[in-house]
Amino acid sequence: MNAIIQTKGLMKNYGNNQVLKNIDLTVMAGEFTAIMGPSGSGKSTLMNVLSTIDRFSGGEVWLDNQSLLQLNRNALRKFRQERMGFIFQDYNLLDALTVKENILLPLSLRRYAAGEMERRLKRIAEALSIEPILHQYPSEISGGQKQRAASARALITEPAVVFADEPTGALDSRSATQLLEQLSDLNRSFGTTILMVTHDPYAASFCRRVIFLRDGGIVNELFAGDKGQQAFYDRILDSQSLLGGHRR
């Protein structure tokens, strides 16, 4: 397996405030990894830096074997469009477009052939169980369906890595579980690399690996192993408790 994300001595400062401190991190192709930590730990900043939304202050970052230090602004934008997918808490669907049109938008902007767009749409719509809503508008579907549509839009470009920022934060428990199960299936079936920021140990338990941040640094990591999701969930809760979090 190749490393999709790699950092060495990564630092991020906002004025005199050091938010990320000498982070060494490797994410291999095909991993489903969660980043957890209390408010102010740096997890969202780390996500923004790795996804090229924000610049870093020191160290080095490689994405898909490409050093970000070697890319100018235009090259970064192209890299982000072609090699990354994004799933946000608030969906970011366009109300004037149908679900199908929203999902196909990244491919339409890059002038993909109609046949290739339909092939990819069929594959991802089946995987996320959204075929019945493709011709509806965002205002006509539930929050869970909106998030699955947003996930399909992120995945249809077949990116090297998908960044998911609190993707279940606005969902009820049933919709959240359905989305997490489907993302986990996509990870296993298609080998999609997913890096997810979450505060929720239940959401993190669907991942294969959890990285814990505190005060801008990595302080622990857990691997799911083969003992099942419930056992991994319990271990995540225990780690949160040891790090000053709160076991529930």
Q: Which residues contact 231 (CB under 8 A, 6 or more apart)?
A: 225
Q: Specify the pLDDT at position 247.
A: 43
Q: Specify the pLDDT at position 94.
A: 95
Q: What are the tens digits of pLDDT across the range 126-151?
A: 989 999 999 999 999 999 999 999 99
Q: What are the tens digits of pLDDT across the range 53-71?
A: 899 999 999 988 889 888 8
pTM for this entry: 0.89
CB 4 within 8 A of CB 64: yes
Q: Specify the pLDDT at position 186.
A: 87
Phi and psi at 110, nearest 5°, equal -100, 10
CA atoms within 13 A on the CB side of 42: 25
Q: What are the tens digits of pLDDT across the range 74-126?
A: 888 888 888 899 998 888 899 999 999 999 999 999 999 999 999 999 999 99
Q: Specify the pLDDT at position 89.
A: 82
